[in-house]
């Protein structure tokens, strides 16, 4: 059972849950665990002011264990994943993704993929048994600043789409005041995509603040007639879009659009798409009517990737906008997702409005309920009884799970009858709030 690592690394409030001391222990334990397999740790970060603090601690911990460290500066998570895959390095991203600046996090990537649950448990065990272990002075690792990883990632993404057609529409890029601001202008400029930019002035505390993929209302207000919005999160591993008529286009819809293009170009591979239990039934219906199959996994893009590798699927992702094009990248990449989608619109000769109008969406309610003790609430007999009853209703699909990154219980209820869906979600939320208060 993992204690520190959640579904997307270690995450917490800066200097309360995620301290420099903990960052140093993680760096030291990761260095000890992977030394011998990798000799270099590359550290990237998003634009949070706390990134410098945690970077210094993480680097010191790894170097003290004998691992060389490269500091890549502000770089999207998929940019780090690319450079670790190309160079066979270990990587660490300092980011709390879509969360506000009061949070930060650390996630470890090895050769392009997030490390496994088993490896995370081993690192936790090292921290618990011997929090810090120092190598002899002659074996201490070096720490250096590098800039070429950012340039390499820009060149890679630009090269992937050189000569491709894109939708003849101006895009409004919402960079969430996050890591994508360091690469997006150069990539879109190289590909001659007509773009305006918003929320590209990070100040250390404004990342995801009323902007980005979790606050699409801001982009909707800024959108001009005929534009479409492209929204990133803080570390740019997810992308959502806004259609010309200001409708949010979520990860399910973006996957569906790209599945249609990839099927036509025989790039999809084995006719399957991988997503999570949170994906809308309308998405599954859309694929089925086109002779395609949806495979569901537990929530978390690392689990989506595992299933894609197992089944040979080339397209997978989450409703939240983490999309993996496995023949392009081994992790969710918001920039690649945006470019693939703009290319899909051109190849299918349709507008984003036209596509969303044709996409079936079943009634679905999502709720996040703050709790003090996630395990206590999930073990509640009242909640288990109500869940058993709801899951026996064949007209409903119900998912209740603890968040892997925040003190929340997440509720998803879906079905054909909107009133029944909403009532069931409300009852579940009431039970959770009642149990939390006991």
Instruction: Give pLDDT tens digits for 74-131.
Output: 999 999 999 999 999 999 999 999 999 999 999 999 999 999 999 999 999 999 998 8
Give the C-alpha distances (Å, rounded to integers) separating 56 from 63, 83, 342, 358: 10, 21, 39, 50
How many Å apart are CA 113 and CA 78, to the nearest integer?
Answer: 10
Instruction: Taking residues 310-330, report their average pLDDT.
Output: 95
Q: Does domain 10-146 have CATH number 3.40.640.10?
A: no
Q: 401-421, pLDDT tens digit by residue?
A: 888 777 889 998 988 888 989
Which ranges of 176-267 does DSSP label H, i.e. alpha helix?
184-190, 216-222, 251-264
How many Å apart are CA 253 and CA 350, to the nearest integer?
Answer: 14
How many Å apart are CA 299 and CA 15, to the nearest integer?
Answer: 28
Topology given in CATH for the domain delimited by 364-437: TATA-Binding Protein (3.30.310)
- CB-CB contact of 94 with 24 (8 Å): no
At residue 6, the pLDDT reads 82
Angle between helices 20-34 and 117-129 (to 10 degrees): 110
Q: Which two tokens stand for residue 325?
A: 């094009």
Of 350, 262, 361, the C-alpha closest to 319 is 361
- Mean per-residue pLDDT of the chain: 94
H/E stretch holding 39 reads none
First CA to last CA distance, the chain? 25
Q: Which two tokens stand for residue 16?
A: 């309360």
Active site residue 97: yes
Q: What is the CATH number of domain 153-358?
A: 3.40.120.10
At residue 1, the pLDDT reads 61
Angle between helices 77-87 and 148-160 (to 10 degrees): 100
* Given the residues 50, 60, 97, 213, the one annotated as active site: 97
How many Å apart are CA 428 and CA 397, to the nearest integer?
Answer: 13
What is the reported pTM?
0.88
How many Å apart are CA 175 and CA 182, to the nearest integer?
Answer: 9
Q: What are the sequence ranges of the domains in the chain?
A: 10-146, 153-358, 364-437
- CB-CB contact of 73 with 150 (8 Å): yes
At residue 157, the pLDDT reads 98
How many Å apart are CA 16 and CA 13, to the nearest integer?
Answer: 6
> Is the pLDDT at 46 greater than 90, yes or no?
yes
Instruction: Taking residues 231-237, report their average pLDDT.
Output: 97
> Is the pLDDT at 364 greater than 90, yes or no?
no
| Burial of 387 from C-beta contacts in 10 A (0-12 / 13-18 / 19+) | middle
φ/ψ of 217, rounded to 5, equals -60, -35
How many Å apart are CA 173 and CA 287, to the nearest integer?
Answer: 29
> Is the pLDDT at 380 greater than 90, yes or no?
no
Of 330, 335, 357, 412, the C-alpha closest to 82 is 330
How many Å apart are CA 428 and CA 438, to the nearest integer?
Answer: 16
Query: How many CB atoms lie under 10 A from the CB of residue 312?
Result: 10
- 3-state secondary structure labels for all residues of 362-429: CCEEEEEEECCCHHHHHCCHHHHHHHHHHHCCCCEEEEEEECCCCCEEEEEEEECCHHHHHHHHHHHH
Same fold flag, 10-146 and 364-437 = no
């Amino acid at each position: 059972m993992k204690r520190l690592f959640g579904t997307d690394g270690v995450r917490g409030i800066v200097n309360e849950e995620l301290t420099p001391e903990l960052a140093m222990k993680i760096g030291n334990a990761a260095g000890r665990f992977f030394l011998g397999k990798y000799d270099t740790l590359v550290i990237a970060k998003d634009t949070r002011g706390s990134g410098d603090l945690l970077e210094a601690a993480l680097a010191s911990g790894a170097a003290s264990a004998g691992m060389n460290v490269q500091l890549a500066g502000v770089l999207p998570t998929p940019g780090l994943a690319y450079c670790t895959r190309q160079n066979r390095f270990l990587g660490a991203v300092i980011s709390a993704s879509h969360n506000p600046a009061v949070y930060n996090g650390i996630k470890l990537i090895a050769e392009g993929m997030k490390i496994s649950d088993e490896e995370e448990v081993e690192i936790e065990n090292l921290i618990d048994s011997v929090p810090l272990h120092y190598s002899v002075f002659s074996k201490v690792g070096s720490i250096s600043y590098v800039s070429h990883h950012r340039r390499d990632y820009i060149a890679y993404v630009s090269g992937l789409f050189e000569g491709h057609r894109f939708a003849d529409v101006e895009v409004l890029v919402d960079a969430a005041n996050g890591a994508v601001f360091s690469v997006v202008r150069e990539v879109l400029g190289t590909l001659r995509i007509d773009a305006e930019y918003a929320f590209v002035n990070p100040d250390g505390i404004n990342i995801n603040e009323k902007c980005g993929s979790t606050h699409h209302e801001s982009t909707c207000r800024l959108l001009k007639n005929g534009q479409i919005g492209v929204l990133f999160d803080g570390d740019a591993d997810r992308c959502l879009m806004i259609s010309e008529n200001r409708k949010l286009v979520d990860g399910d819809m973006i996957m569906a659009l790209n599945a249609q293009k990839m099927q036509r170009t025989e790039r999809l591979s084995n006719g399957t798409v991988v997503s999570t239990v949170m994906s809308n039934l309308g998405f599954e219906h859309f694929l089925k009517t086109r002779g395609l199959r949806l495979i569901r996994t537990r929530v978390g893009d690392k689990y989506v990737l595992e299933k894609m590798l197992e089944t040979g699927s080339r397209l997978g992702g989450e409703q939240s906008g983490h999309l993996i094009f496995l023949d392009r990248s081994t992790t969710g990449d918001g920039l690649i997702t945006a470019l693939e989608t703009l290319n899909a619109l051109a190849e299918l000769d349709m507008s984003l409005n036209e596509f969303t109008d044709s996409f079936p969406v079943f009634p679905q309610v999502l709720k996040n309920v703050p709790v003090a003790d996630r395990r206590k609430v999930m073990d509640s007999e009242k909640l288990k009884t109500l869940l058993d009853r709801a899951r026996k209703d064949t007209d409903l699909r119900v998912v209740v799970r603890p968040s892997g990154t925040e003190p929340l219980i997440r509720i998803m209820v879906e079905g054909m009858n909107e009133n029944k869906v909403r009532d069931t979600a409300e009852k579940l939320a009431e039970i959770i709030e009642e149990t939390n208060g006991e």
